[in-house]
Amino acid sequence: MPGAQRPTRGGSPVSSSEPAAPATIIGNLGRGRRLFGERPLLVTGGGQTTTYAEFAELVEGAAAHLAAEGMRPGDRLAVCARNGLDIAVAIWACARGGFVFAGLPTNLDATAWAALCDHVDPAVVLAGEEFLDSLGHGARPLAGELTGRRLPWDEQRPLPAAGDVYAVVFTSGTTGRPKAAMVTHQAAMTVAAFYRGLLGLTPADRTAIHLPFSYVSGHISQLNPFLLAGGAAVTMPRFSAAELLRVIAAHRISVLDVVPSIFALLLREPGFGTAATASLRAAYFGGAPMPPATIDALRDRQPALRLFNVYGMSETAGLITALPDEDLAAQPGSVGRPVAGAQVRIDADSGELLVRGPTVMPGYWNDPAATAAAVDGDGWLHTGDIARVDAGGYLRIVDRVTDMINRGGVKIYPADVEHALTSHPDVQSAAAVGLPDGMAGEAVAACVVLRPDAPTDLTEVRAHVRALLPVHARPRRLLSVEAIPRNATGKLDRTAVRDLLAGPAGPEAG
């Protein structure tokens, strides 16, 4: 590739001491049923335990039910629900039947959900009770729809191919421009095999899944690796630090997948680092940098806890690089080296990180233009991140090409926030940036230019965007200014905007 450094190649997806993983997540479930049949796989609300064998029967029955409903291979099943048995069965049932699972984030509103559904055109829409009234699109209750029909697991039924797409993960879409990254069995199983080896997972391990199943972390980075290892997962429909601490203590959780802000909250809990969390031996984190002070506090409160920094994105099933515990002190600010067969290179002109390998998406669902812009003809994914690689192959993310805002691991496009603000008739122009936030990494801040003599105030602007943006994308700080800072060529000067918004609040700030 012209203008790019020689690729740095990641290690093998599977360590030499581990048996080869199945090629598909359905093969993984079939293997788990044979090896760990009566062991617990999922513990859900109210302490309900589902074994490997029971989960396989539920998946088989759900896949048959969806087919009887008229779904054909390639059709989409949209699900909006909190973590639990029903949504887990839905994912594996899609894989079993050749359907495509489309998880709708629960923190959106009716307008955003409609845009996502319009984009993927689902054959069936299922939702948790609390989302039914707002969701529309003929949504039916999820509860019991898929988990009330068990069938014996059919060992003779053909398995999907490793390259088949079984899910899409939404990466944007708060303003009617959704993108849905396609996930293949190969990508999910590459991630599962890697985490089994990195974390040394065994049937004795348990994890708590508080990150949503609709994102990469919930089922690709947690449930599927634990299924491969014979472990168990406790699902949490809602997150709170106190509840996570209770789950860790009650279920003897040994491994966690978190974003750094979760640890910041856990460190505020008096019970963290006591006998209540003695079972916790490892945690892998990503989505945002872990502040050194947080790492130091974890070392002090939970000295036996091993930490692993992982870097990835929805377009790579959440995995590109990893930094093991023993390298954290020696490589501050690094996200590690390429893993699981990933190749990375830095574009010499832009400094953008490019990656290709078994976890890279085949493209965005029903969006050839966005796919062509993201993945070139040689299979290199343009990540949008500015990065550097040192002589040892350690990667550092130094900036974002798109100026994305990173709030608690959730990526927010400033253009989406600006679009929502300027859709108000009295807002002339707007600029949005991320400001440092001790708990969530960054908070959205924005400034607007109101039309002269407009009767609108910032309270009305806030009410306007509240109907257009999810909670995490709404400006925490909003300032009315006479002009948006721009450079000599007339382009938006985000550095000046950031300085302006980081300064003392004036009378027109809200």
How long a stretch of residues is the chain? 510
Domain 412-502, CATH: 3.30.300.30
Q: What does the block give as tokens for 447?
A: 């400034």
User: Does position 401 have pLDDT exceeding 80, yes or no?
Assistant: no
Rounded distance, CA 71 to CA 48, Å? 29
Rounded distance, CA 461 to CA 427, Å? 8
Confidence class for position 335, pLDDT limits 50, 70, 90: very high
User: How confident is the model over 269-302, as pLDDT tens digits?
Assistant: 999 999 999 999 999 998 777 878 789 889 999 9
**pTM surpassing 0.85?**
no
Confidence class for position 14, pLDDT limits 50, 70, 90: very low
Nearest by Cα to 59 from 33, 37, 28, 90? 90
pLDDT, mean of residues 464-481: 94
Cβ–Cβ < 8 Å for 321, 389:
no
In a 13 Å sphere around the CA of 84, the CA atoms on its Cβ side amount to 18
Cβ–Cβ < 8 Å for 32, 228:
yes
φ, ψ for residue 84, nearest 5 deg: 170, -175
pLDDT of residue 13: 41
| 255-258 sheet: strands from edge to edge | 49-51, 40-43, 232-235, 206-209, 255-258, 282-285, 306-311, 321-323, 337-338
User: How confident is the model over 142-152, as pLDDT tens digits?
Assistant: 998 999 888 88
User: How confident is the model over 51-65, as pLDDT tens digits?
Assistant: 999 999 999 999 999
The owner of tokens 């993983």 is 21
| 76-80 sheet: strands from edge to edge | 140-141, 124-127, 76-80, 100-103, 165-170, 180-184
Rounded distance, CA 453 to CA 448, Å? 14
Confidence class for position 489, pLDDT limits 50, 70, 90: very low
User: Does position 411 have pLDDT exceeding 80, yes or no?
Assistant: no
φ/ψ region of 382 (left if φ > 0, alpha if ψ in -120 to 50, else beta) reads beta
Rounded distance, CA 219 to CA 209, Å? 9
Identify the helix (H) or strand (E) that includes residue 466.
helix 458-466
Confidence class for position 365, pLDDT limits 50, 70, 90: very high
Strand pairing partners for 479?
A: 447, 509
* Cβ neighbour number for residue 395 with a 10 Å cutoff: 25
Query: What is the overall mean pLDDT for the chain?
Result: 90
The CATH superfamily holding the domain 8-399 is ANL, N-terminal domain (3.40.50.12780)
User: Does position 172 have pLDDT exceeding 70, yes or no?
Assistant: no
Question: How many angstroms separate the Cα of 226 from the Cα of each of 2, 41, 194, 251?
Answer: 41, 8, 11, 15
Cα end-to-end span (Å), the chain: 48
pLDDT of residue 415: 76
Q: What does the block give as tokens for 48?
A: 């309900």
Residue 277 makes CB contacts below 8 A (sequence gap 6+) with 245, 248, 249, 271, 302
Q: Which of 9-23, 196-210, 265-279, 399-413 has the lowest mean pLDDT?
A: 9-23
Question: How many angstroms separate the Cα of 384 from the Cα of each of 145, 240, 402?
Answer: 40, 32, 6
User: Does position 176 have pLDDT exceeding 50, yes or no?
Assistant: no
User: How confident is the model over 86-136, as pLDDT tens digits?
Assistant: 999 999 999 999 999 999 999 888 988 999 999 999 999 999 999 999 998
* Residue ranges covered by each domain of the chain: 8-399, 412-502
Q: Which of 5-19, 45-59, 162-176 has the lowest mean pLDDT?
A: 5-19
